[in-house]
Amino acid sequence: MIGFYNYTVILTYAGTFFGFMGIICVLEGNLKEALICLMIAGFCDMFDGKIASTMKRTKQEKRFGIQIDSLSDLVCFGVLPALIVYRCSDKERIYVVACVIYLLCALIRLAWFNVDEEERQAREEHGRECYLGLPVTTSAVLLPLFMATAARLKLPSGDIAPLILFFITAAFISPFTLKKPGLLGKIILMLCGLTGLILVLTGGVV
């Protein structure tokens, strides 16, 4: 069979599974479950690179890893968040446009990242130290956290979610430098994710 099936891609494939399950949840109207799937996919993505680095891979395996990771990210952090916001915003036309723009910007960013990462790996041996713009995976933390907070404060999620999506979209393609999170940064992200999970589980989503 074509492709690679070693342990370095297991978390990426698992994240894709949860991304697809989240899409099914949206189609069935279960936004709470969809947000939980989004967060689980984000957790998988946080550690898939670390696991991949434990194995000595060929150039082809590394290039495959870059491509498969971004393709998975498009499903999990591009399509799924756009559908969540579309579903909770009463399908108004202006919000449909916002969701489409979000998806396009996520697609553009991921394609750009693939090109940049392959060129970087050809020049450097060590891992990436910083990003240009906001990584698409941050939607797995930001969207559930703010949507659940809005629901807890009795704010209309249908209006808040597209607004959150707008700022995330702008950050995807903005050329600012963002240092790759180390151990402390990952702990903070996990705490934010845990907070969002607790809020989603206990407060629901409107």
Residue 46 has pLDDT above 80, yes or no: yes
Mean pLDDT of 39-44: 94
Token pair of 199 as six digits: 């809020």
Complete DSSP assignment for 104-161: HHHHHHHHHHHHHHHHHHHH-SSPP-EEES--GGGHHHHHHHHHHHHHHTT--HHHHH
Residue 128 has pLDDT above 80, yes or no: no
Query: Each residue of 160-182: pLDDT tens digit?
Result: 888 889 999 999 999 898 888 77
Residue 191 has pLDDT above 80, yes or no: yes
Mean pLDDT of 148-165: 83
d(CA 2, CA 93): 41
177: part of which helix (H) or strand (E)? strand 177-179
Across all residues in the chain, what is the average pLDDT? 88
d(CA 95, CA 179): 31
Out of 41-50, 65-74, 154-163, which region has the weakest mean confidence (pLDDT)? Answer: 154-163
**Using the 8-state DSSP alphabet, how is residue 6 labeled?**
S
- Classify domain 7-203 at the CATH class level: mainly alpha
Best CA proximity match to 40, nearest among 62, 55, 53, 22: 22
Structural domain boundaries in the chain: 7-203
pTM: 0.90
